[in-house]
Structure 1
Amino acid sequence: MISKEEMVRSVPQKGFFGHPKGLFTLFFTEFWERFSYYGMRAILLYYMYYELNKGGLGLDQATANSIMAIYGSLVYMSGIIGGWIADRLLGTTRTVFYGGVLIMFGHMVLSLPSGVTTLFISMGLIIIGTGLLKPNVSSIVGDIYAETDPRRDSGFSIFYMGINLGAFIAPFIVGTVGQTYNFHLGFGLAAIGMFIGLIVFLATKKKYLGLAGSQVPNPLTAEDRKRVFSRILIGALIIAVLGFILIKAGIMTFDVFTMTVSVLGIIIPTLYFIVMYRSPKTNADEKSRLLAYIPLFVAAMMFWAIAEQGSIILAQYADQRTDLTIGSFELQSSWFQSLNPLFIITLAPVFAWLWIKLGDRQPSTSRKFSFGLLFAGLSFLIMIIPAYMNGTETLVSPWWLVLSFLLVVLGELLLSPVGLSATTKLAPSAFAAQTMSLWFMTNASAQAINAQIVKLYSPENEIVYFGIIGTVSIVLGLLLFLLAPIIQKAMRGVK
């Protein structure tokens, strides 16, 4: 077993803005992976519902919206599988590489002019590939620093910047090519982006990452491998046969599948909480903290249910309800997907400075969550104004979308990093890693529920749609604000 000290010593410690050289490898691997994913996502909805004569698949818009939500949900759920494979079978670096290969093939499949079957094959490859790569590349960042290294937090901040830079640039390049020339060319660019990321990873891994991520932390024994692989194979065969029978019988329709994933989005986290709470490994203080975590989990689900509609409902709004002409300049509707990472890059340092400045005077975790829900709710409520003023038949100024994305990012910066921190503090010690998986389930569950909600949107009912969802978020935020003292007490000393 390689010790943490040996791992850190094997990594050249100076070379990338004063950080370990391995940060260069991980920064650009993640930059290109996010470029490929967010580039694809910027045009995928349009590809699904544009008519055949415009290069799309001609799907019903409500169905396309639902597919986008289910897709996002399964991408986040798959991270649980990726973590297990890295911990028990391959180690993180090999898992990251294989994940990148699957993602690249997924985009390559989408770049081929074909139909709905090809779309779902591509989605399957990208879901599994992202589940293998996304959680594990972040884990390797932690491996290249000693636990007491003062550069550690700064290194994660630089890495986080790579994520958002890739997401910011992608819609301008992939979106423009996809919408102006051909969707399949756009998806081809996403594949090239992931290919560049893999080249960077392979070319610099040995020299810059050393032993980081090379070992399997909790490997299966030879006997365990046989048993686990047998169960996986039998389970996969049962699912495949059952799926084939249900599809042939007309029982497993797309609506039934989306409803199944939506239900799982509620059942899986519920079972997580029950198992951890009832476990004899969880002491009384930890049980209390778990109960305090539940309202934060629900609040995060509500937040992500709104935030993730930026790539679904607001993307459709940008395409169909927004005046994309500024003078003689023509905007692409896909470009609005760059607003979220742009605002995060700009405002994240401001929030980091604010929390340091406020020190002990800063709001409690639950109150930061409540403010996050308030901003999320407002980001939807302001979308009522143009429809109320001018009706739903006229095109609206793009500045309404800019304001909506700004408000939801303010909410994200209040809730997302704080939620990660709170999860590490409130997690029972015996379930630390699983509780972190549970935090990422807030997004997966939100998008699973969104798969049912987004079907209800249409330009004709947008006042009701934005109004109800925005109001529910604000009411939940106010309720959380009022319950903050009780939640804080249940945290048993955790701030």
Structure 2
Amino acid sequence: MSRLTKQEIAASVPQRGFFGHPKGLFTLFFTEFWERFSYYGMRAILVFYMYYEVKNGGLGLSEPLALSIMSIYGSLVYMSGIIGGWLADRVFGTSRAVFFGGVFIMLGHIALAIPGQLTMFFISMVLIVIGTGLLKPNVSTIVGDIYPEGDNRLDAGFSIFYMGINLGAFISPLIVGELMKKSFHLGFGVAAVGMFIGLVLFLITKKKNLGLAGTQVPNPLSSEEKKKWGIYIVVAAAVIGIALAVMIPRGWVTIEGMVALVGVLGILIPTIYFIVMYRSPKTTSAEQSRLLAYIPLFIAAVMFWAIQEQGSTILARFADKRTDLDAFGFHISPAWFQSLNPLFIITLAPVFAWLWVKLGDRQPSIPKKFSIGLLFAGLSFLVILLPGQLGGADALVNPLWLVLSYFLVVVGELCLSPVGLAATTRLAPAAFSAQTMSLWFLSNAAAQAINAQIVKLNTPETETLYFGTIGGLSIVLGIILFLVAPKLVRFMNNAH
């Protein structure tokens, strides 16, 4: 079968329909809206479900363990995207990857919605990690496929698509957070229904709206490669099975051990990525220079995400335990604070897009934007110190302090996250362009792997030290990055 060109794929997609964009954007917008609705709805109440007592509908885990599991879960979600991207590229294409991923996610949420013990909880986590790894990277790829080569609507199309992500993430914690007052499982059930709606919509509209987009396997395995990979998989499964058969009866497999293992992998995998790309004969000397400049940016991203991702762990617990939730005349669900991040992104993203265009050549360099992002991330932790210092360590704090903290970290995110995506495309070696994008997402996986180790250090006694140390470290790292920015720009061959 002959290979389809990008133009042939785009020609199969109706090009006028959704706000002047290809009709396929409607399908992808709402598929991702409902996927994010289900994911962020589940995530908004997951940590509470883990550490609430059994009599209150939770699993009764210790708070430090619940926080660590939450971080490890987030890390594995980002790691799994590498496998999901590979399977789509080599085995069944992006469209099938999106569908299979949605099915796994839905089953994972159904497993959470069924009252059960810890075993069912971990089964659900495995299903959701696999599903998100399949769906998340590949649905974005299909967005690029529905536009013809050189179509100037592409950037705007991704902006609309990004809005769908944040709308789903904004709405779901408000609904699920209210339902958790009655039952955690009811909240998880709503998340499952959300993913089901997304799947049905995808199936009903994809043939008419997406045409051939996502149906082609970009780099299919040859017959010889299929045999080789089949052997690899069988051998790996046998080794893992034997290891577990030996280790589980002896009590060597523990939750704490898995947390430690994923923590090591979170650092080890991106390190291997950098070494392989740098030493590859396919990487030119100019590309090696850019790759060296990318390393400090990657480290800065890890520092930033380590703070930003604690919004669903440390700050979620702070909302639950240390915040006055009976404010402004009604009771606030602690899960509602999870809607602040997407709300501020929806509000501020157009402002930052306008600002960078307005500044033109006068805008800060890539490293300086990263340093600004770290500064705001650090400030978002430092402001959490103030209410405790002003009102005492035992006093419940006004929820506006948390609102301010989330606002500051979103300002930092808009300085760093979209800029990081653009920097990755500019600095990636030509032979590793797709893998370098995977590397960028691994900065989040590494951050959450680190968080799994450090969130256990946050206690009422260490609260001031915890927020002050991490916030201060981020600011110091931001200042250092700002100072070395001109040198990094030179290594980047003056890519601004």
Sort the TM-score into its range (normalised by shorter chain).
Answer: over 0.9
- Paired position in structure 1 for 2:86: 84
- Paired position in structure 1 for 2:144: 142
Q: How far 1:444 sits from its partner (Å)? A: 0.3
- Paired position in structure 2 for 1:442: 443
After superposing on structure 2, the runs of 4+ consecutive aligned residues of structure 1 that deviate more than 6 Å are none
Q: Deviations over 1:310-330 (max 9, x none)?
A: 000000000000001124311
- Paired position in structure 2 for 1:246: 247
Q: How far 1:238 sits from its partner (Å)? A: 1.2
Residue 461 (structure 1) aligned with residue 462 (structure 2): yes
Of 184-193 and 455-464, deviating more is: 455-464
Secondary structure of the 1:14 match is coil
Of 327-336 and 354-363, deviating more is: 327-336
Amino acid at match of 2:256: D
Cα distance in 1 between the residues matched to 2:238 and 2:318: 42
Q: How far 1:388 sits from its partner (Å)? A: 1.0
Amino acid at match of 1:164: N
Q: Deviations over 1:65-118 (max 9, x none)?
A: 000000000000000000000000000000100000000000000000001111
- Paired position in structure 1 for 2:40: 38
- Paired position in structure 1 for 2:340: 339
Q: Deviations over 1:37-66 (max 9, x none)?
A: 000000000000000110001100000000
Residues 58/268 of structure 1: CA separation in 2 closer, same or farther (3 Å cut): same
On the 8 A contact 2:11/2:148 being kept in 1, the answer is no
- Paired position in structure 2 for 1:350: 351
Secondary structure of the 2:220 match is coil
Cα distance in 2 between the residues matched to 1:419 and 1:328: 41
- Paired position in structure 2 for 1:59: 61
Cα distance in 2 between the residues matched to 1:86 and 1:217: 8
Aligned equivalent of 1:96, options 95, 98, 112: 98
Cα distance in 2 between the residues matched to 1:50 and 1:470: 28
Q: Deviations over 1:423-465 (max 9, x none)?
A: 0000000111110000000000000010001011112221111
- Paired position in structure 1 for 2:256: 255
Cα distance in 1 between the residues matched to 2:278 and 2:454: 31
Q: Deviations over 1:178-217 (max 9, x none)?
A: 2x11000110100000000000000000000000010000
- Paired position in structure 1 for 2:320: 319
Q: Percent identity?
A: 67
Aligned equivalent of 1:29, options 18, 25, 31: 31
On the 8 A contact 2:369/2:416 being kept in 1, the answer is yes
Cα distance in 2 between the residues matched to 1:436 and 1:452: 26
Of 232-241 and 200-209, deviating more is: 232-241
On the 8 A contact 2:7/2:149 being kept in 1, the answer is no
Q: How far 1:5 sits from its partner (Å)? A: 1.2
On the 8 A contact 2:289/2:492 being kept in 1, the answer is yes
Cα distance in 1 between the residues matched to 2:129 and 2:217: 23
Amino acid at match of 2:117: G
Amino acid at match of 2:42: M
Amino acid at match of 2:63: Q
Cα distance in 1 between the residues matched to 2:241 and 2:49: 28
- Paired position in structure 2 for 1:408: 409
Amino acid at match of 1:202: L
Secondary structure of the 2:248 match is helix
- Paired position in structure 2 for 1:205: 206
On the 8 A contact 2:378/2:471 being kept in 1, the answer is yes
Amino acid at match of 2:265: L
Structure 1 gap segments, 5+ residues each: none
Secondary structure of the 1:460 match is coil
Cα distance in 2 between the residues matched to 1:284 and 1:223: 34
Aligned equivalent of 1:14, options 10, 13, 16: 16
Cα distance in 1 between the residues matched to 2:131 and 2:174: 24
- Paired position in structure 2 for 1:276: 277
Amino acid at match of 1:474: I
Cα distance in 2 between the residues matched to 1:314 and 1:387: 14
Q: How far 1:120 sits from its partner (Å)? A: 0.4
Cα distance in 2 between the residues matched to 1:154 and 1:28: 16
Cα distance in 2 between the residues matched to 1:392 and 1:200: 49
Cα distance in 2 between the residues matched to 1:237 and 1:344: 46
Q: Deviations over 1:275-325 (max 9, x none)?
A: 111111111100000000000000000000000000000000000000011
Q: How far 1:493 sits from its partner (Å)? A: 3.1
Secondary structure of the 1:248 match is coil
Amino acid at match of 1:4: K
- Paired position in structure 1 for 2:70: 68
- Paired position in structure 2 for 1:289: 290
- Paired position in structure 1 for 2:304: 303
Secondary structure of the 1:149 match is coil
Amino acid at match of 1:477: G
Q: How far 1:492 sits from its partner (Å)? A: 1.3
- Paired position in structure 1 for 2:49: 47
Cα distance in 2 between the residues matched to 1:400 and 1:237: 52
Residue 127 (structure 1) aligned with residue 129 (structure 2): yes
- Paired position in structure 1 for 2:157: 155
Cα distance in 1 between the residues matched to 2:376 and 2:399: 19
Cα distance in 2 between the residues matched to 1:173 and 1:235: 42
Secondary structure of the 1:67 match is helix
- Paired position in structure 2 for 1:234: 235
Q: Deviations over 1:364-406 (max 9, x none)?
A: 0000000000000000001111111122211000000000000
Q: How far 1:140 sits from its partner (Å)? A: 0.1
Q: How far 1:136 sits from its partner (Å)? A: 0.1
- Paired position in structure 2 for 1:109: 111
TM-score (structure 2 length as normaliser): 0.99
Q: How far 1:229 sits from its partner (Å)? A: 1.8
Amino acid at match of 1:269: P
Secondary structure of the 2:281 match is coil
Q: Deviations over 1:403-427 (max 9, x none)?
A: 0000000000000000000000000
TM-score (structure 1 length as normaliser): 0.99
Question: How many residue pairs align between the two structures?
Answer: 494
- Paired position in structure 1 for 2:400: 399
Secondary structure of the 1:202 match is helix
Of 419-428 and 260-269, deviating more is: 260-269
- Paired position in structure 2 for 1:430: 431
Cα distance in 2 between the residues matched to 1:66 and 1:284: 41
Cα distance in 1 between the residues matched to 2:353 and 2:5: 33
Structure 2 gap segments, 5+ residues each: none
Cα distance in 2 between the residues matched to 1:80 and 1:312: 24
Cα distance in 2 between the residues matched to 1:225 and 1:321: 55
Q: Deviations over 1:237-261 (max 9, x none)?
A: 2113213322221222221211111
In the TM superposition, what are the counterparts of 1:186-205 in structure 2 within 5 Å?
Answer: 186-205=187-206
Cα distance in 2 between the residues matched to 1:241 and 1:335: 44
Cα distance in 2 between the residues matched to 1:18 and 1:126: 34
